[in-house]
Amino acid sequence: MSFNPTDTQLVGTILFAIAIIHTFLVSKFQHLAHKYPVGSIKENLFHFLGEVEAVFGIWAGLFICYLGATQGLMVVDESTHKVIGGAVKYLESLNYTEPAFVFVIMCIAGTRPVIVFAEKIITIIAKVVPLPGKMAFYITSLVIGPILGSFITEPAAMTVTAMILLDYFFSGEMSKKFKYITIGLLFVNVSIGGTLTHFAAPPVLMVASKWHWDMTHMFTAFGYKSVIAILVSTLTVAFMFKSELTGKLEIKQKHENWLEPTWWMIAVHCLFMLMVVITAHHMVFFLGLFLFFLGFAAITTEYQDELKLKESLLVGFFLGGLVTLGAQQAWWLQPILGKLPDLPLFFGATALTAITDNAALTYLGSLVELTDTAKYSLVAGAVAGGGLTVIANAPNPAGFGILKDSFGEDGINPLYLLAGAIGPTLVAMFFLEILPTLGAATH
């Protein structure tokens, strides 16, 4: 293995490491904020530093300042007037489509018509589950919601499922232990739940076209195993907390002026989601589409809850920062991915996913010559580890942002989140590694 980073790569890696450490210290900054007068500059500053969604954006901003100071803001070719170097050129060389897509799909998926539609589907399915109402709804939400991620994309599935959990399970008197294990389960289920198709999970999207993986391959090699793992983990957690999931499901209380969206409003929202998913790789189109959606939401405002623009923008900011700093990690990740045997690669990818976005990990792996079994090990490890931390999988910040306030003033503790996700992660690893690919002797 060869590790010879340039100064820029070394600075990028140092800032990336600091950003990871920062994510584990956000509760400390929130504590500091409470020591200053409400509304003061210091209080607002420490609150901002205590927002997990802002962390990578902050350190990415410092990295861009470093580039500007050392390489210039823009280096322009005098003959062609094109930007050929500097901080602006670096930013233009990166692809920010995924952060923009997650922002848009989170806004649309978090609206009242979409949530009501998802609740109706889950309620219908929960009624045929031979378990008490509350437990049946919990299990159905954490199985059907993440699996829907294979069709409506993982960020949309994360948003819808997290909103349902917030309304029905996280707003009541549930224990902190229940909440941490549930959010860990949610993150893992969504990460592996998007593997039934080749277009919904970010780590799969990065390699599917290059490696010629179609829907049949995804279902036979990954999908059916993921469904089994989701069922086993969810049923296990539900029975672990059966005392907290006993009794009748309490229907969410609506405010006095609450109006249920009509069928045609739900249909229009689903159409907007479908069009955004279809054009997910074309930022110019889906951002334009989003502007039309905002107009429709304004027209039907009495049937809408407040749009989650701030929360969605913060998640986009987080992912944009991750893209900016993640691009500087190839110098040490690629040699590792290219040299590991299959089983160590599977375990290594699971562990590395916790400190790097799993889509970035598989993308870097696609730049290295790998055998078919190594390709499987890389992607299986990446999706299995996608729930371990908030940075492990692109949709995680969306769920984090929706559910964090229900954990109290300190928000979600990253170490407790890690602990809550370990069980479902081990289950996912077991089934992804042990079960064979359908129609093949080995994977």
Tens-place pLDDT, residues 101-121: 989 998 999 999 999 999 899
**Same structural domain for residues 30 and 67?**
yes
Q: pLDDT value at position 71? A: 93
Of the residues 32, 61, 92, the one at which a domain ends: 92
Q: Does residue 171 surpass a pLDDT of 80? A: no
**Stretch 391-407: mean pLDDT:** 93
Confidence of residue 309 (pLDDT cuts 50, 70, 90): very high
Same domain, 352 and 365: yes
Percent of the chain at pLDDT > 90 equals 70
pLDDT band at 411 (very low <50, low <70, confident <90, very high): confident
Same domain, 164 and 46: no
Distance (Å, whole) CA 343 – CA 196: 23
**pLDDT class for 98, splitting at 50, 70, 90?**
confident
Contacts of 342 (CB under 8 A, 6+ apart): 371, 373, 374, 376, 377
385 in the same domain as 309:
yes
One domain for residues 196 and 86: no
DSSP string covering 350-418 = HHHHTTS-HHHHHHHHHTS---HHHHHHHHHHHHHTTTSSTTSSTTHHHHHHHHGGGG-TT---HHHHH
Average confidence (pLDDT) over 129-134: 90
Q: How far apart are CA 288 and CA 243, in angstroms?
A: 48
Q: Are residues 86 and 105 in the same domain?
A: no
Identify the residue with better confidence: 53 or 398: 398
Question: In terms of pLDDT, which residue wins out, 190 or 27?
Answer: 190
Does a structural domain hold residue 1? no
**169, 206: one domain:** yes
Q: What is the DSSP letter of 168?
A: I
pLDDT at position 185 is: 98
Q: Is residue 443 part of a domain?
A: no
Residue 439 is assigned to a structural domain of this protein: no
Q: Are 78 and 101 found together in one domain?
A: no
| pLDDT computed for residue 253 by the predictor | 67
**Cα 24–chain centre separation:** 18
Question: How much is the average pLDDT of 32-57?
Answer: 91
Label residue 311 by pLDDT band (50, 70, 90). confident
Per-residue pLDDT, 441: 43
Domain span at residue 379 reads 97-434
Q: Are 302 and 261 in contact (CB under 8 A)?
A: no
In the predicted model, is pLDDT for residue 432 greater than 50? yes
201-205, 246-250, 284-288 — most confident range: 284-288
108 is a domain residue: yes
Q: pLDDT category, 173, cuts 50, 70, 90?
A: confident
Nearest residue to 363 via CA among 203, 215, 140: 203
User: What gap in Å lies between CA 346 and CA 352, rounded to an integer?
Assistant: 10
Average pLDDT, the chain: 91
**Within this chain, do residues 119 and 76 fall inside the same structural domain, yes or no?**
no
Number of domains in the chain: 2
> Which of the listed residues 76, 92, 108 is the one where a domain comes to its end?
92
The answer to whether the CB of 158 falls within 8 A of the CB of 398 is: yes
Q: Is residue 2 part of a domain?
A: no
Reply yes or no on whether the pLDDT at 336 is more than 60: yes
Chosen domain end from 25, 58, 92: 92
pLDDT band, residue 2 (cuts 50/70/90): low
**340 and 362 fall within a common domain:** yes
Least confident window among 37-46, 149-158, 434-443: 434-443
Give the per-residue pLDDT at 52: 84
> Both 165 and 86 in a single domain?
no
Q: Is residue 440 part of a domain?
A: no
Q: What is the pLDDT of residue 442?
A: 43
* Per-residue pLDDT, 292: 98
Is the model's pLDDT at 443 over the cut of 50?
A: no
How much is the average pLDDT of 44-70?
93
Kindly state the average pLDDT of the residues 240-248: 90
Distances (CA, A) of 396 to 188, 297, 318: 9, 25, 11
Cα separation, 420 vs 185, in Å, equals 7
Query: Could you tell me if 318 and 393 lie in one domain?
Result: yes
In a domain, 195, yes or no: yes
| Res 136 pLDDT > 90 | yes
The confidence score (pLDDT) of residue 79 equals: 85
Question: Is residue 164 within a helix (H) or strand (E), and if so which, with residue range?
Answer: helix 154-165
Q: Does residue 232 fall inside a structural domain?
A: yes
Q: Tens digits of per-residue pLDDT, 349-374?
A: 999 999 988 988 998 888 888 999 99
Phi, psi of 25 (to 5 degrees): -115, 5
DSSP code at position 65: H
Q: In sequence order, what are the residues at sequence separation of 6 or more whose Cβ sits closer than 8 angstroms to the Cβ of residue 340?
A: 348, 374
